Amino acid sequence: QKEVEQDPGPLSVPEGAIVSLNCTYSNSAFQYFMWYRQYSRKGPELLMYTYSSGNKEDGRFTAQVDKSSKYISLFIRDSQPSDSATYLCAMRFSGNTPLVFGKGTRLSVIA
Amino acid sequence: DGGITQSPKYLFRKEGQNVTLSCEQNLNHDAMYWYRQDPGQGLRLIYYSQIVNDFQKGDIAEGYSVSREKKESFPLTVTSAQKNPTAFYLCASKGTATNYGYTFGSGTRLTVV
């Protein structure tokens, strides 16, 4: 079993839809959870981060972490064509440990 | 502007050749990382360095080598021992004051010809 599981998609939604992206993980010691957005042939950029369990909101984006279920989510409200990208979940243990990434979900928002 | 610069953007390697990918940062970050990205595979860790003159192997270090002689620089050499080097290579850095995410470069696409 992979440490971090993420459905690669592709996921195609109409403009204005609410998008839900998810990852599951197997190691309960993960403490820091992140979502990155990656446009084609570019480096990933940090979108959201959360420490331990809880929710965090930033504009149209909401990140949720449920440590009891080992499940994290990213919600995108009022999706736009410019949101079309690959979304990568990532997480790491406490201390200065490297990030472990999911495989990424490719999202297309159709105008 | 502070950031990470990877060069070249595109690189072609002949069979049996070693090639070196450059990664330079001016963010004063202590930790630097190299990831490889293949279609449908996500990012896989090759090597990382927490401090100058020290580095650790990641999950797929075979066929790669690194050095960290300066804080700003973390070059990756893809050796001839790496049998399937065609991929997108990403360098990242993280400062001690930043508890969460990495800053990534724009990547180098390596192709074997």
Q: Is the pLDDT of residue A23 over 70?
A: yes
Which pLDDT value is given to residue B18? 93
Task: Please give the residue that has the higher pLDDT: either A73 or B102.
Answer: A73
Integer Cα distance of A21 and A44 in angstroms: 16
**What is the maximum alpha-carbon separation in chain A?**
43
Which pLDDT value is given to residue A19? 97
User: Which among B50, B101, B105 is the nearest to A43, CB-wise?
Assistant: B105
Which pLDDT value is given to residue B100? 65
Identify the closest residue of chain A to B48 by CA–CA distance: A98
Question: Using one digit for the tens of pLDDT, what is the confidence trace for B22-63?
Answer: 999 999 999 999 999 998 788 999 999 999 999 999 999 999
Which pLDDT value is given to residue B97? 65
Say if the Cβ atoms of B31 and A96 lie within 8 Å: yes
Integer Cα distance of B13 and A53 in angstroms: 45
Instruction: Specify the 3-state DSSP secondary structure of B24.
Output: strand
